[in-house]
Structure 1
Amino acid sequence: MRKTGLFMAGGSLCLSMALLFMGCASKDANSNAGTSKNPVEEGCSGEGVVSYFCDRIEGKSALWTDSSPMALDDVAAMRKKVWQKWVEANEKCNEEKFIDFAALGDRSGKWKLPEALEPDAVMPYYWGYKGDEPDGGYPLYLYIHGSGNRDREWSNGLKLCKSFDDAPSAYFIPQIPNVGDYYRWYQKAKQFAWEKMLRLAFVTGKINPNKVYFFGISEGGYGSQRLASFYADYLAGAGPMAGGEPLKNAPVTNCRNIAFSLRTGAEDNGFYRNTLTGYVKEAFDAMAEANPGSFVHWIELVPGMGHSIDYDKTTPWLKTKVRDPYPKRVMWENFEMDGVYRKGFYNLYVTERSCNAPYRTYYDMRIEENVINVAVYEVKYNTRETDPNWGIEMTFDCIYVPATEGKFTLFLSPELVDLSKEVTLCVNGMEKFKGMVATDVKHLINSCAAFFDPERLYPAAIEVDLAVK
């Protein structure tokens, strides 16, 4: 099978779960009905969970395997318990934290990024707020600047962000650590910074996790377009400006569940920014038409303007958008960015990639009541058009072939399916699971460590091996 196209993403806490954080006892089965009050597996202390979380923050990847079954009625309470242990781990671990959260621009901080990812990379940043904290926490904006003199760009970025009509809001405004070949916001050291920023922002308790927005201008426009597709599962919206990336670098499919804005001058022909912005608009328009209600976008070639446009319009449009952390349709092209692939996206988590370069893996998940269908393809891009001046690959044909190997975990929650009833999972047309899905504290722990997102702590999971018939 082959496809081609232009583009191609409340109840009481039972004793067994309380003991997860207070002490140890012997393991016993516990049904989802919630009638049994059995203790969890011996050895699962609260301090052990904190230590495990610290290991994950420091880069260790082993999963938590101790099983602690829980009742459905206890999911909400256990989510709070697990998240509190995650907060404790973040406070305990030895790393550079945020500077104090104060009025935006009052002071700046800096992080040393890992030497193995980029040599001598120190990232100065502003971290602060505008306006009074709203109910639910501040919306968070990441603003990334253009490729001029980095001191001037950073300073101008702060002035712009303070002036934008988006208060109440919180901002993280970094300065690029190095120039030359490292003046790219999507590179792996910067990925480390964005994930650290999100992780630390969420544990402050001052940020609304469903109102996170990435945007930037020029080089920051290129970067925020890539980041929007790479990190869409964390975002309510993204707003690159004066940019325009080839679609291979920022697959449109991944932006199905976010709001996406891209505004470029109609006369901005440097590096084909206007042409590429036009291609992005065509792709979003087509996806929105084929998927009514999804792919919300505002893509505009601003008449008569070159590389400079009115930057004041983007955040007022973004600030009204809110993330749905539990979409029942997910389209994810797991593309590499500076050699790095994401391990997870929304409720999907990859335990073994299905293919190697030049192929990518594409997942399409649909949930209808308690029936889940996931299509998994290997994707190869064939370049259709290359510009003669810079060698920029402009348009592509894509070949989709059903994947026959690889492993992934499908995390589940009461927001996605009714866990009191049977669940059916089909992958590439083949039934992979049918039955009751057990709820277990280990899934809350593993999803917390994987996504570091207070809205994505999943109490259930199904493991899938594509090679097993």
Structure 2
Amino acid sequence: MKLINGLMGGALGVLCLSDALAQSPIAENTYAKWMDEALAGKSPAALNDETMLKEGDVAAAKTKLWAEYKAAAKRAGWDKHLLSVPEPIEKMTAGGKKPKLQAGKLTSDDKTMPYLFMAKGKKPAAGWPMFICLHGGGQHKVDTAHGWDVNTREWQAQMSLTARVYKPAGLYFIPRMADDRLGRWWHKHNIDIFTRMIRDAILFNDVDSNKIYIMGISQGGYGTCHLTPFLADLFAGGGSMAGGMMTVTENLRNVAFRSDIGEKDTMFKRIELAKELHTSIDALKAKDPDGYENVLAIQEGRGHGIDYSKSPSWLITHTRNPYPTKIVWRCYEKAGLYRDNFYWLSLTKTPEKGEFDLTASVDKARNLVTITAEEVIPAKEKDGKATRKPLTSSKVTVNLNDDMVDLDQEVTVMLNGKQVFKGKLKRSRFTMMKNLVKRGDINYAFPAEVTVGG
């Protein structure tokens, strides 16, 4: 199985900090070479940067690092990937004018995804909230990738809903399915495009990385159910509309999730499956009441057509916490991919088959990180039971900052009931750069890390 290593493979970028050079024996051209290799998707050797930070230095270093990272991304041409933010739709349509919408294309291997941006309202000081809007339709036997008119009409319907129905101010990313012959929103090419789009929109379209939402209608609702738990650490919330199905509910602990569905939407068992999904989430919440915020909104008298305004208005009230005190991570396969990062945990290896189950919590008052980690091994025979054992085939990296623990004091890490680390961790600019390169999100530019287990 292929892994998603943060945003590795052409999705990298890192810059040195000029003040670090004054304290470090590393020459500027060495940093530049390292950065160029990283931007090209290569794996440059680690730099022996001895420059360490105090707690009070981290905020300024992050601000400067982000600016340098953005400049490096421009040199690599990343600022040409996306369309710019258009005029707000209210201004485009003022006086009854017909809006002039510009479409672009994003590619992954041989797949091409048409898309456009629509803006509503005024950009907040922290940046645009962004809604990923997945249209309905799906898979159909046609001769060309974009040959099914149903998907085209559903794509256009998302534009109309954004202009007329969705209420929150924000930037709306409206993609069209990349290949009607395959359909679905959870193929590998979709995951690749969406993760790169998010990175580039944060960099160049001034998107608030803690206010990103995914939502969809019908087939797009199924896509939301698939992608929200797989990419949960990227989103503040997910909203499935007129589409119900079971998903990996464990990973939804720290991301808000809502389903809107008509009480008469019985085709493909949509209403039945939506109820089962939220029953599963509620069962987890009963055991863990600080997490798993969710709403099942059944619209009376409605069938497959519902009031689509409710979901985005609910989603916008939620903000991602990139440093939750507790993480529940089922590391599973989606479209042949595994992820090796989830909030503040990372894996040195992903499963060759089966899954990893990790639960981790951080207690700042005690400077304590507690992790349980298991490998789930599939049964050899049909209808057999999977087996579990403590995780040994991968090490676990705990990424930390001063919001989570006091890095001036000793940190203790417990793994599967055993103390595996106790000591002080150093805040490092190079650690911040590595993490920013890997994740493409300044919130995940952790200054300290410790790797345990294996």
Provide TM-score, normalisation by structure 1.
0.82
2:404 maps to which of 416, 419, 422: 416
CA distance in 2, matches of 1:71, 1:252: 39
Give the corresponding residue for 1:54. Answer: 39
Q: Is 1:438 the equivalent of 2:426?
A: yes
SS at match of 1:185: coil
Give the corresponding residue for 1:173. Answer: 174
Q: Is 1:462 the equivalent of 2:428?
A: no
| One-letter amino acid matched to 1:265 | G
**Residues 379 and 269 of structure 1: CA distance in aligned 2, closer, same or farther (over 3 Å):** farther
CA-CA distance at 1:380 after TM superposition: 5.3
CA distance in 2, matches of 1:288, 1:267: 27
Give the corresponding residue for 1:39. Answer: 24
Give the corresponding residue for 1:351. Answer: 348
2:105 maps to which of 102, 111, 136: 111
Give the corresponding residue for 1:145. Answer: 135
CA distance in 2, matches of 1:98, 1:273: 35
Matches within 5 A, 1:30-109: 38-42=23-27, 47-48=32-33, 50-55=35-40, 59-61=41-43, 64-72=46-54, 73-94=56-77, 96-103=80-87, 104=89, 106-109=100-103
User: Retained in 1: the 8 A contact 2:224–2:240?
Assistant: yes
Q: Is 1:402 the equivalent of 2:386?
A: no
Q: Is 1:296 the equivalent of 2:293?
A: yes
Q: Deviation digits for residues 4-36 of structure 1, max 9, x if unmatched?
A: xxxxxxxxxxxxxx98437856xxxxxxxxxxx
CA-CA distance at 1:381 after TM superposition: 7.1
2:249 maps to which of 240, 252, 264: 252
**Residues 68 and 191 of structure 1: CA distance in aligned 2, closer, same or farther (over 3 Å):** farther
User: Retained in 1: the 8 A contact 2:38–2:44?
Assistant: no
| One-letter amino acid matched to 1:47 | A
Give the corresponding residue for 2:7. Answer: none
The count of corresponding residues between Structure 1 and Structure 2 is 413
| One-letter amino acid matched to 2:402 | P
SS at match of 1:155: helix
Which blocks of at least 5 consecutive residues in structure 2 are unaligned? 1-14, 90-98, 139-149
CA-CA distance at 1:173 after TM superposition: 0.4
CA-CA distance at 1:310 after TM superposition: 1.5
CA-CA distance at 1:243 after TM superposition: 1.4
CA distance in 1, matches of 2:25, 2:344: 25
| One-letter amino acid matched to 1:100 | S
SS at match of 2:32: helix
| One-letter amino acid matched to 2:84 | D
SS at match of 1:135: coil
CA distance in 2, matches of 1:444, 1:342: 20
CA distance in 2, matches of 1:19, 1:411: 20
SS at match of 2:156: helix
CA distance in 1, matches of 2:190, 2:415: 34
Q: Deviation digits for residues 64-113 of structure 1, max 9, x if unmatched?
A: 44333312221112112221222112212145521121125643232341
CA distance in 2, matches of 1:21, 1:48: 15
Matched-pair identity in %: 29
**Residues 220 and 205 of structure 1: CA distance in aligned 2, closer, same or farther (over 3 Å):** closer
User: Retained in 1: the 8 A contact 2:222–2:245?
Assistant: yes
User: Retained in 1: the 8 A contact 2:214–2:239?
Assistant: yes
SS at match of 1:68: coil
CA distance in 1, matches of 2:220, 2:209: 22
Give the corresponding residue for 2:160. Answer: 159
**Residues 23 and 263 of structure 1: CA distance in aligned 2, closer, same or farther (over 3 Å):** closer
CA distance in 2, matches of 1:418, 1:308: 51
Give the corresponding residue for 2:122. Answer: 132
CA distance in 1, matches of 2:372, 2:123: 42
User: Retained in 2: the 8 A contact 1:244–1:273?
Assistant: yes
CA-CA distance at 1:201 after TM superposition: 1.0
RMSD: 2.5
CA distance in 2, matches of 1:61, 1:302: 51
| One-letter amino acid matched to 1:243 | G
CA-CA distance at 1:217 after TM superposition: 0.5
**Residues 61 and 285 of structure 1: CA distance in aligned 2, closer, same or farther (over 3 Å):** farther
CA distance in 2, matches of 1:19, 1:263: 47
Give the corresponding residue for 1:366. Answer: 361
Q: Deviation digits for residues 397-422 of structure 1, max 9, x if unmatched?
A: 87643222212321111111110100
CA distance in 1, matches of 2:378, 2:393: 20
User: Retained in 2: the 8 A contact 1:23–1:45?
Assistant: no
Provide TM-score, normalisation by structure 2.
0.84
Q: After the TM superposition, which of the residue ranges 312-321 and 93-102 deviates more from structure 2?
A: 93-102
User: Retained in 1: the 8 A contact 2:210–2:321?
Assistant: yes
Give the corresponding residue for 1:9. Answer: none
SS at match of 2:442: coil
User: Retained in 1: the 8 A contact 2:117–2:172?
Assistant: yes
CA-CA distance at 1:324 after TM superposition: 0.9
Q: Deviation digits for residues 279-336 of structure 1, max 9, x if unmatched?
A: 1111111111111231111113333332222211111111111111111101111111
| One-letter amino acid matched to 1:343 | D
SS at match of 1:375: strand
Q: Deviation digits for residues 120-145 of structure 1, max 9, x if unmatched?
A: x2211111311111121111100010
CA distance in 1, matches of 2:131, 2:446: 26
Which blocks of at least 5 consecutive residues in structure 1 are unaligned? 1-17, 26-37, 387-395
